[in-house]
Chains A and B, each alone.
Chain A
Amino acid sequence: MSTPYAKLPRWADYGLIPLINLLVAFAVAGLVVLLVGENPFRAAVILVDGAFGSGPGIAYTLFYATSFIFTGLAVAVAFHGGLFNIGGEGQAYFAGLGVALACLPFDGFLPWYLIFLLAILCSAVFGALWALIPAYLQAKRGSHIVITTIMFNFIASSLMVYMLVDVLKPMGSMAPQTRQFLDGAQLPRLGFLFDYIGMKVRPSVPLNISFLLALLMAFLVWVLIWRTKLGYEIRTMGFSPKAARYAGISETRVIIVTMLISGALAGMMAMNPIMGDQHNVPLDFVAGAGFVGIAVALMGRSHPAGIVPAAILFGMLYQGGAELSFEMPSISRDMIVIIQGLVILFAGALEHMFRPAVQAVFASFSPKSVGVVAAKGEGV
């Protein structure tokens, strides 16, 4: 028996339900704030104001969002193929090596745009390589991709510690990171754009050109999924592996290619903190962006047009959260993580919690505006 709920109009599906989820997440987070003895409304104002109230605030929000767009797209592409790539974290981390490979030998004499192109290529290839092994194991051996990609996160983590401590660390340095990049490997920052809208942004704010690359990738992912033969095959496979087999689509090939693209997108995320902000490859530069990407993809319904705003929302939580812990000392960094966790919980994991209620409301108010998915009668 199919569910007797009517289908929602698109605006409710893509706008109203995420909004309700978000509001509930904030309400629960507000309770937590109340529990530590702070005013939740003031906290909310600080959070939003910190993220969007000033030029630098916005720039930081977009800087964080850049990473989340990449990882969100990575998760989304895999989702379309019916694959759950939890390994964005490890793929991005490993791709840091690719970025180092593109920057360290050449930053003394190549212009930034050539190194940027090289770094796009290297980070994508390294990210893809890290996704290749789980993809191969899934396609050929049936090892579940969720398990293998999680495991590869740990492997990447250990490998990077080894690389940064024992291989890439300059002689005599105490910090487990590569040497500082020269000008050629530092990406141009976009703070100057804010001048045109009358806002001042310090040159030290790390929003950089990889944000534009992220937007371009969002567009290209849309083209890939909905406008190419490969995207058609990925979607067929994601919706129905049996139909894919019937259509003569090679399961092995689609799994591997999808994961390569997913890994490459996750890998490109590495450029944002490394070449845009730190100008070296430090430990733990991914800082959870790979996992946030899962929430971003879920919240954005695996559609680039949803992923970009979802990524900006999480950028807001990161940036506004940092402001909040600064303004309200009793709200520590961990509290921010709790709030982010709640948003992920309600927007991602509990995404369908309010759906039946909303559908019931819609069905009773406007029976004309809803189509039918349920009860098309008998037959197989």
Chain B
Amino acid sequence: MLTAEFLYKSYGGKAVLEDVSFDLGQEETLAVVGPSGCGKTSLLYLLGGLSSPDAGRVLLRGASVTRPTPDISIILQDYGLLPWRTVIDNVALGLKLHGTGRAERREKARAQLAELGITGRDLDYPANLSGGEQQRVAIARAFVTSPRLMLLDEPFSSLDALTREQLQRTLLDVWRKRRIPYVLVTHSLEEAVMLGKRIMVMSGRPAHPVAFFDNPGFGDANIRDTEACFSLLKDIRHTVEDVW
């Protein structure tokens, strides 16, 4: 489905990512954890075609990703909603850019918002919404184009704990229905265990994968309360303590 091969990226002569390789299968989800500022966002930008690697390549279903494509939706940090567009126009933006007619894109956007529990807010602006609502709108915008792959950049980092947990469950619910594979970048180990079928631990700069963990409990809404979760978290924490 998605393959990253020997990715290398530098800014101003300083390596940010080095030798990053992994695969993501159909219906799989990958949580990438790493210390703050290690280059996780840079990795996501490479995967989404928003920037180009200095070496290596990204393949989506065998085709090289060199620029943003409708097959990949990205949820950026701080939601990435346009403050000058209404909720409905923000959600429908991707469809608009791909040439979908106004009535059709609004209908799809409305349905997607309803699926995420946002109704009657079409004509509000992002500033009228709470952080959690803004994130739901951002998720709706990413899903409405029916992408083949989702990329999420610390999507819940600026939310309070309760809202974060609600939205994590919402994301899992949508994933169960749609089965769209995603790569999620986070610095929270707990979030990685909640949302990643596989977990990739990155080193500090220049970042590279140091360990992969399978998460057999993935998809269980109550995973936080399971012994397997504690055990997995303990293993990841041991790895992290050695390399961060």
**A and B physically associate:** no
